[in-house]
Amino acid sequence: MPNFFIVGAQKAGTTSLYHYLNQHPQVYMSPIKEPFFFDHEIDSKGEVVRREFEGHRQPPRFTNIEEYSTLFEGVRGEKAIGEATPLYIYAPGTAERIERYVPGAKSIALLRNPADRAYSAFLYALRMGVEPLTDFAQALREEPFRMRNRWHYIFHYRSRGLYYQQLKRYHEVFGRERLGVWLYEDMREDPAGVAQSVFRFLEVDDTFTSDTSSRYNPAGVPASQSARAAMRATNKAVWGLRKFLAPTSSILPLAFKMRRAVLSRVLTEPPPIDPELREELVAGYKEDILRLQDLIGRDLSMWLR
């Protein structure tokens, strides 16, 4: 079983950190970056209780704790064993489930300016072909309706940036000594330095230097209708393989690599967020940001600009 988790937040650099940690000889990362296990309800026998969204069942990738543990069969004496599911910080009850099944584990949170994170999450949903709207402001107006009607967490653009209560749960369950918090903005400026800081937190050799030259999961939108069609076809193929192959299949990493290669060719830089809309988002997040900076002991005034 893992002894640490990258719990979030979505669109805050978790994919990059996963790859930086995976290079370390004393660190073992799950071959599937996002197992999506502890965000589900789990009964007393370790069986997953399926969650529903919009009236449709959301099938879990793993149906029980034994299946999930097969992700870590490849461990060969590594000191730090981890996985990265950025939904964990947001889904209710996740911190408590991790502590129940993996007592003593550490958690890592990467946080990003919530206004920028919300827009990036919207662009991601648009890119994946699941967001029916093309206007971010309209999607934000629809969010309360979507939440009431049990739309998937991927559509909670504004709400997933309210970090204070999310992180407070982890403080209460894990304590400060087992919860490490870093900022996306720091990793963007000094990825090697952040990686080494995380190594120290995980108590592995912090003199190791990861290759941080590659960008993982960059933002982008389809360059054309044909690009959108190619992107959807690629996503459909990868999701089809995930449905029929075992989670530990060696084919899956190759499929994800293929998808990244396709996306790098068909995506173009997204338009910037509307300045007035961003200002409105920042104003709405102000109180939460001020509470968060007291919780983590970090000046977050740059998020208020």
CATH number, residue 156: 3.40.50.300
Domains in the chain: how many in total?
1
Say if residue 90's pLDDT is above 70: yes
Please state the pTM of the whole predicted model.
0.87
In the block, residue with structure tokens 């995380």:
198
Residue of higher predicted confidence among 193 and 52: 193
Mean pLDDT for 264-268 is 70
Which residues lie closer than 8 Å to 85 by C-beta, 6 or more apart?
A: 5, 6, 7, 8, 33, 34, 35, 36, 37, 38, 39
Note the pLDDT of residue 91: 93
- Paired tokens of 264: 């790098």
How far is Cα 122 from Cα 134, in angstroms, rounded to an integer?
9
Euclidean distance between the first and final Cα of the chain, in Å?
42
Note the pLDDT of residue 130: 84
Considering the chain, what percentage of its residues have pLDDT values greater than 90?
A: 68
273 located within any domain: no
Supply the mean pLDDT for the chain.
89
Note the pLDDT of residue 62: 87
224 located within any domain: no
Structural domain boundaries, residue 115: 4-215+285-304
51 located within any domain: yes
Say if residue 239's pLDDT is above 70: no
Considering the chain, what percentage of its residues have pLDDT values greater than 70?
A: 86
Mean pLDDT for 222-241 is 70
Note the pLDDT of residue 61: 80
CB 81 within 8 A of CB 202: no
Q: Tell me if the bond preceding 9 is cis, omega within 30° of 0.
A: yes
89 located within any domain: yes
Give DSSP secondary structure letters for 253-282.
HHHHHHHHHHHHHHEEPPPPPPHHHHHHHH
